[in-house]
């Protein structure tokens, strides 16, 4: 409601008014005005903007809106739903599913806390319907926000043309601007049938959000955070879930403390973990998919490879990484450099190798996180349209949460990184493990682990890592303090909030 | 090795087993060890300390085995001092008693938070239905199951504290202590046996106990307090929690919150305003949420008397001061939360001429926790002007122990104390309330950033998020230093701690903004807040 009311209050900027008057004959059709601004394919003369954004995801929309606020005539090109990965097939629906899974955990605890909750059945269909409704609601909000900001939305696939001036073509119409931002994001990587026969029978995290039923038998392939989150959600909601990983632990680029604990917790919560394993083929049977897995412990050189199959799989999910969305953009022709994995190479100011072309977000392959893309997009807008020459995002100490069971929070350096960077003698570690008080009354228990990585004589806290109940909400404030350069002494000086889990960070010895 | 979080402290399972063994072998072994330890450490100590060891029975006697007293005595013992801690719980009027650990462990933070969790789970069942769970029938809650589990946990904490004292070579005496002179404490056992002991320094950390309204006939006979509520053998039933808020009594709201959460019909009677001393805008949101949650409020009402009817029900008569009308209703239980009084009666402070605040009865203390009597210190809830909070008592106790042992001169900093009220919608804060900031800096000297946000967990659950709000009160000029930070929402306690650290480090508004958010969480809203109150713009957060 609030949005609608605001819409009617919004004043029309002058450029729009002029166009409106010029084309007043078409006023019967709102859309005609938009069309009139587009290029005429017969003449090939592109429509000009101040700022052209390719990709209506978190980064692109944030950059576009900020630019428009600063007075730039802006357009966003999107070939799918507005909101990008985060809103449609990422953070938002994922967290909804995680919340649902958390309820499944609570339902185990209710009787311990005195509630008689029995004969509970779960309806995936209900949850999916509500989740989809919420996502559509967000799509509408994004659309309204763009309209409110007088940003033109162009629907379709963007391709750079060979014109001397950087120009984008969408559905046969040309658009140009002195500043063009590429924020096309990424998508889950897939394996070809040549690499793994039958690979196409599996889905990715995108497909996860299309599942109409709770799979009875799931196999997740991958050791990254998406694999961990998907396995946790499916398993907790009641799907018999196997997780196939190539080495012995998940989240291998996290602090070893977290990686080890998370691997253990996955198993504790009932995920069937296949270490040192790879899927070699997938075939379709009447009863579901048959997934063939080869397992070999590299440390036992003399052992034979073990080949096993998992039968009756109704959800095989590849979570083996993400790749940038650059195909079809015609980047090579444009002279925008990409790295060997296809990510657009940018400098600290988000400049690509071609002047006037910028990139933010997942397409750059660095810190694939919504708030990072948003912040980078906004900083860029300030630099381009407010003449703030130094406006750039600081990529250090970016906090991240993994919505595993229990959740993980991490910011700054891992112990390994700190030792490598500063030398073992300059690194001091503080650690604690405990069972959060919530579990005092429950038969289900899950530990909380915490670690501080301190560097130098001052014991500057350069890394904070944790996994446990509530860690998702704990991290943000600590991230602020760490960014400010907080030392262990600052932690010690802070009075605890009792009884919480987070107080353990300020009472650590 | 896992350790178990026992509310106020953690201990290692290894040492738990070890000390259990020691304990089972009786008092003998530890006592020998303590003596050995004392003689060893005295060699390395200064001459002065050596004489004190000969002159007095103890270096330090702590009266009161609550959060503060335990922290102080353990810290002192670890620094090589010979320490005794005296703890004795006078049963409540209703006869409730408990073990070692003080208010927090037995009748405060710990059982309260656990029952708060139960209340939240009551809400979670309702939410679960929206998340696709089909749960048959109305959900019943069994008080006895919950209370027994809570009480068992508290008993395990009592035991844990005993073990810790044993471990750290602190002499624990289950006796009632009183002061004879500046170096002597008299103890009285339950059986009436008397003993005296001398100490170089004496610390009073006896805390406080809930008060009854003495001017309401029937209040004491028929009502309970927070000393009893967690130990009730059966459900308090239809409860009325009456709240007089001339002190910082968040207890009434917290109790009413969890009682509502587990499905009891609960009414809070408030004389004037709720959560006095806290930011009043935030307090309003907390009580608004509770009203929507099902807690009934009787605002501006003053109870006149409580009578027990033949049915066993309690008839409460009160005056509605708004309309100047008298009302009556019946309840199963009446919980009084009208504030707390310092536990000084048994201490014999008057004989020593110790300075007390006449109004509050609390001991007047210096920045170093010293009282008007030499060698006697007091801290925690009993100290005048001190926050009635466990973590400040623990911290102050440790620092005091270090100073008394001559290891440090660091004083307790009572500023920047963060706190959280565990009402159904939790409220966490650090620094000044907006009112207080306005008083100190003037309305024009402040820039208040605020936001109404909707937690993602509320969306599918179709819960009203009108009270999920945050505000950051900043200085208007300069680099916009943060003066106060306030947050209502799920997990506010966990959210606030890290920001309290930032606040301690002197965070400014731009420090918040330059930190990348964590998506999607509630806490991230604090790094995104950008609407000022001054602008008058709608502070509702939309989209991601």
pLDDT digits (tens, 9 = 90+) for A284-302: 999 999 999 999 998 888 8
Its domain, for residue B474, covers 425-528
Contacts of B135 in chain A (CB under 8 A): 117, 119-120
What are the C-alpha distances in Å from B308 to residues A223, A327, B234, B237, B333?
A: 65, 80, 18, 15, 10
Q: What are phi and psi of B417, to 5 degrees?
A: -85, 115
The pLDDT of residue A302: 84
CATH of the domain at B475: 3.30.390.30
Q: Write down the catalytic residue from B153, B222, B486, B519.
A: B519
Lookup result for tokens 């998370």: A262
Residue B430 included in any domain? yes
Assess whether B67 and B200 both reside in one domain. Answer: yes
Of B118, B136, B391, the CB nearest to A503: B391
Burial tier of A243 (Cβ tally within 10 Å: 0-12, 13-18, 19+): buried
> B362 and B270, same structural domain?
no
Mean pLDDT of A349-362: 97
Q: How far is CA A80 from CA A95, A158, A159, A331, B276, in A?
A: 21, 12, 15, 20, 52
Looking at the 3D structure of chain B, how many domains does it have? 3
Cα gap B242→B255, rounded to integer Å: 10
Tell me the chain A residues in contact with residue B495 when contact means C-beta distances shorter than 8 Å.
473-474, 476-477
pLDDT of residue A304: 87
Within a domain: B6? no
Average pLDDT score over residue span B356-362: 94
Q: Is B386 exposed, middle or buried, given 0-12, 13-18 or 19+ CB atoms closer than 10 A?
A: buried
Residues B204 and B66 in one domain: yes
CATH number of residue B372's parent domain: 3.50.50.60
Is pLDDT above 50 for A163? yes
Higher pLDDT, residue A174 or B28 = A174
Residue A25 pLDDT > 50, yes or no? no
For residue B263, the SS3 value is coil
Residue B19 lies in a domain: no
Question: What pLDDT is stored for residue B238 in this prediction?
Answer: 72
Q: How far apart are CA B454 and CA B466, in angstroms?
A: 8
- Write down the pTM of the prediction: 0.89
Same domain, B205 and B66: yes
CB contact under 8 A, B495 and A474: yes
Write the pLDDT tens digit of every residue in A426-448: 999 999 999 999 999 999 999 99
A-B contacts at Cβ under 8 angstroms: 310
Q: In the predicted model, is pLDDT for residue A369 greater than 60? A: yes
Residue B40 is assigned to a structural domain of this protein:
no
Alpha helices in A238-325 (DSSP H): 256-268
What is the pLDDT, as a whole number, of residue B14?
Answer: 38
Cβ A375–B516 below 8 Å, yes or no? Answer: yes
Say if the Cβ atoms of B395 and A472 lie within 8 Å: no
Same domain (yes/no): B204, B231: no
CB contact (8 A) between residue B518 and residue A112: no
Residue B36 lies in a domain: no
Asked if B345 and B330 sit in the same domain, the reply is no
Report the largest interatomic distance among the alpha carbons of chain A, rounded to a whole angstrom: 82
- Higher-confidence position of A372 and B252: A372
Residue B30: inside a domain, yes or no?
A: no
Of A45-54, B522-531, B535-544, least confident by mean pLDDT is B535-544
Which DSSP category does A140 fall into?
H
Q: Is residue B240 located within the same domain as residue B200?
A: no
Residues B230 and B201 occupy one common structural domain: no
Q: Which residues of A touch B7 (CB under 8 A)?
A: 437, 498-499
Q: Is A88 on the interface with B (CB under 8 A)?
A: no
Q: Residue B458 corresponds to which tokens in the numbers above?
A: 């509320």
- Whether A28 has a pLDDT exceeding 50, the answer reads no
B390 in the same domain as B352: yes
Measured distance CA(A7)–CA(A13) in Å, rounded: 13
User: To the nearest whole percent, how much of chain B has pLDDT over 70?
Assistant: 88
B235–chain A nearest CA distance, Å: 12
Given this model, what pLDDT does residue A30 score? 41
Q: Are B352 and B324 contained in the same domain? A: no
Written in H, E and C, the secondary structure of B397-436 is HHHHHHHHCCCCCCCCCCCCCCEEECCCCCEEEEECCHHH
Spatial contact of A63 and A360, defined as CB atoms under 8 Å apart: yes
By annotation, the residues of A acting in catalysis are 498
Q: Say if residues B402 and B410 touch (Cβ distance below 8 Å).
A: yes
Radius of gyration, CA atoms only, chain A: 25
If asked whether residues B318 and B346 sit together in one domain, one would say no
Does ipTM top 0.95?
A: no
pLDDT at A175: 97
Q: Does A122 touch chain B (CB under 8 A)?
A: yes
DSSP line for B42-97: HHHS-HHHHHHHHHSSEEEEEE--SHHHHHHHHHHHHTT--EEEE---PPPTT---
Q: Is B214 helix (H, G, I), strand (E, B) or coil?
A: coil
pLDDT of A448-493, one tens digit each?
999 999 999 999 999 999 999 999 999 999 999 999 999 999 999 9
Across chain A, what does the average pLDDT equal?
91
Q: Return the residue of A nearest to B114 by Cα.
A: A438
The answer to whether residue B242 sits within a structural domain is: yes
Residues A398 and A367: beta-carbon distance below 8 Å: yes
Higher pLDDT, B26 or B489: B489
Beta strand extents in A120-212 (DSSP E only) = 121-122, 152-155, 158-160, 167-170, 173-176, 179-182, 186-188
Kindly list the residues from chain A whose CB atom is less than 8 angstroms away from the CB atom of residue B543: 138, 141-142, 145
**Domain co-membership, B346 together with B372:** yes
To the nearest whole percent, how much of chain A has pLDDT over 90? 88
In a domain, residue B412? The reply is no
DSSP A99-127: HHHHHHHHHHHTGGGTB---S-EE-HHHH
The dihedrals phi and psi of A461, each to the nearest 5 degrees, come to -80, 110
Residues of A in contact with B146 (CB under 8 A): 113-114, 441
Q: What is the pLDDT of residues A249-275, one digit of tens each?
A: 999 999 999 999 999 999 999 999 999
Does pLDDT of B12 surpass 60?
A: no
């Amino acid at each position: 409601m609030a949005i609608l009311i605001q819409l009617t209050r919004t004043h029309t900027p002058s450029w729009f008014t002029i166009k409106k008057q010029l084309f007043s004959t078409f006023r019967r059709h709102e859309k005609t005005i938009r069309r009139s601004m587009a290029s005429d394919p017969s003449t090939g003369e592109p429509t000009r903007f101040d700022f052209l954004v390719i990709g209506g995801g978190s980064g692109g929309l944030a950059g576009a809106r900020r630019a428009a606020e600063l007075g730039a005539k802006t357009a966003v090109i999107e070939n799918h739903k507005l909101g990008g990965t985060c809103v449609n097939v990422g953070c938002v629906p994922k967290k909804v599913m995680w919340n649902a899974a958390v309820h499944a955990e609570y339902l185990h605890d209710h009787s311990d806390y005195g509630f008689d909750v029995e004969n509970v059945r779960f309806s995936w269909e209900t949850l999916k319907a509500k989740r989809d409704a919420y996502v559509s609601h967000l799509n509408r909000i994004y659309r309204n926000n763009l309209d409110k900001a007088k940003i033109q939305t162009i629907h379709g696939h963007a391709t750079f043309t060979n014109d001397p001036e950087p120009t984008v073509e969408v559905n046969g119409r040309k658009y140009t601007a002195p500043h063009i931002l590429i924020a096309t994001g990424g998508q889950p990587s897939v394996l070809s049938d040549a690499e793994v026969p039958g690979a196409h029978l599996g889905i990715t995290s995108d497909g996860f959000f299309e599942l109409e039923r709770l799979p009875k038998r799931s196999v997740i392939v991958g050791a990254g955070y998406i694999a961990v989150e998907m396995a946790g959600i499916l398993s907790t909601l009641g799907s018999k879930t196997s997780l196939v990983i190539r080495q012995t632990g998940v989240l291998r680029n996290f602090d070893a403390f977290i990686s080890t604990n998370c691997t253990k917790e996955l198993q504790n919560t009932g995920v069937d973990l296949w270490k040192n394993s790879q899927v070699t083929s997938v075939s379709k049977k009447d009863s579901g998919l048959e997934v063939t897995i080869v397992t070999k412990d590299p440390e036992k050189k003399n052992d034979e490879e073990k080949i096993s199959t998992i039968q009756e799989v109704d959800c095989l999910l590849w979570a083996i990484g993400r790749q940038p969305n650059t195909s079809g953009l015609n980047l090579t022709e444009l002279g925008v450099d990409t790295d060997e994995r296809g990510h657009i190479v940018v400098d600290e100011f988000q400049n690509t190798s071609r002047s006037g072309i910028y990139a933010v977000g997942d397409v750059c392959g660095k810190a694939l996180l919504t708030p990072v893309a948003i912040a980078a997009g906004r900083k860029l807008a300030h630099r381009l349209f407010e003449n703030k020459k130094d406006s750039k995002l600081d990529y250090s100490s970016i906090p991240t949460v993994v919505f595993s069971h229990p959740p993980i929070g991490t910011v700054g350096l891992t112990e390994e990184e700190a030792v490598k960077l500063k030398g073992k003698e300059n690194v001091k570690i503080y650690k604690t493990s405990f069972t959060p008080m919530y579990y005092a009354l429950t038969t289900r228990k899950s530990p909380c682990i915490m670690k501080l990585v301190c560097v130098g004589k001052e014991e500057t806290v350069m890394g904070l890592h944790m996994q446990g109940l509530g860690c998702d909400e704990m991290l943000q404030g600590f991230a602020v303090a760490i960014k400010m350069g907080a030392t262990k002494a600052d932690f010690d000086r802070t009075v605890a909030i009792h009884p919480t889990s987070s107080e353990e960070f300020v009472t650590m010895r | 090795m896992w350790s178990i979080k026992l509310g106020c402290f953690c201990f290692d399972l290894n040492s738990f087993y070890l000390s259990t063994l020691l304990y089972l072998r009786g008092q003998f072994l530890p006592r020998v060890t303590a003596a050995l330890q004392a003689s060893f450490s005295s060699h390395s100590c200064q001459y002065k300390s050596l004489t004190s060891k000969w002159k007095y029975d103890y270096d330090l006697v702590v009266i009161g085995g609550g959060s503060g007293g335990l922290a102080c005595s353990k810290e002192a013992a670890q620094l090589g001092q010979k320490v005794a801690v005296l703890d004795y719980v006078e049963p409540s009027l209703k006869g409730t008693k408990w073990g070692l650990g003080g208010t927090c462990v037995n009748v405060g933070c710990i059982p309260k938070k656990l029952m708060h969790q139960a209340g939240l789970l009551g809400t979670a069942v309702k939410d679960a239905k929206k998340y696709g769970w089909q749960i048959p029938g109305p959900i019943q809650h069994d008080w006895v199951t919950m209370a027994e589990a809570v009480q068992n946990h508290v008993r395990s904490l009592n035991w844990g504290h005993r073990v810790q004292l044993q471990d750290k070579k602190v002499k624990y005496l289950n006796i009632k202590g009183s002061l004879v002179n500046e170096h002597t404490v008299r103890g009285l056992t339950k059986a009436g046996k008397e003993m005296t002991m001398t100490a170089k320094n004496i610390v009073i950390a006896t805390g406080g106990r809930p008060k009854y309204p003495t001017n309401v006939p029937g209040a004491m006979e028929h009502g309970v307090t927070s000393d009893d509520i967690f130990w009730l053998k059966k459900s308090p039933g239809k409860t009325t929690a009456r709240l007089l808020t001339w002190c910082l009594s968040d207890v009434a709201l917290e109790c009413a919150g969890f009682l509502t959460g587990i499905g009891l019909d609960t009414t809070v009677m408030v004389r004037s305003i709720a959560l006095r001393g806290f930011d009043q805008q935030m307090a309003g949101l907390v009580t608004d949420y509770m009203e929507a949650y099902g807690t009934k409020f009787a605002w501006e009402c003053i109870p006149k008397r409580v009578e027990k009817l033949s049915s066993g029900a309690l008839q409460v008569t009160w005056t509605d001061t708004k309309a100047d009308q008298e009302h009556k209703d019946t309840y199963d239980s009446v919980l009084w939360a009208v504030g707390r009084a310092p536990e000084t009666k048994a201490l014999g402070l008057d004989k020593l001429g110790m300075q007390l605040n006449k109004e509050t009865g609390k001991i007047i203390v210096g920045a170093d926790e010293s009282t008007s009597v030499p060698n006697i210190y007091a801290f925690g809830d009993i100290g005048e002007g001190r926050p009635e909070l466990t973590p400040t008592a623990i911290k102050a106790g440790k620092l005091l122990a270090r100073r008394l042992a001559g290891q440090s001169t660091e004083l307790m900093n009572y500023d920047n104390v963060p706190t959280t009220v565990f009402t159904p919608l939790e409220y966490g804060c650090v620094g000044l309330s907006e009112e207080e900031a306005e008083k100190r800096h003037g309305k024009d000297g402040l820039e208040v950033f605020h936001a109404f946000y909707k937690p993602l967990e509320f969306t599918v659950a179709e819960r009203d998020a009108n009270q999920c709000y945050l505000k950051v009160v900043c200085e208007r000029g300069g680099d916009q230093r943060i003066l106060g930070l306030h947050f209502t929402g799920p997990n506010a306690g966990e959210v606030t701690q890290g920001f309290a650290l930032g606040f301690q480090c002197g965070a400014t508004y731009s420090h918040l903004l330059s930190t990348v958010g964590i998506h999607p969480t509630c806490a991230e809203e604090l790094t995104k807040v950008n609407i000022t109150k001054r602008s008058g713009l709608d502070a509702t957060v939309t989209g991601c």
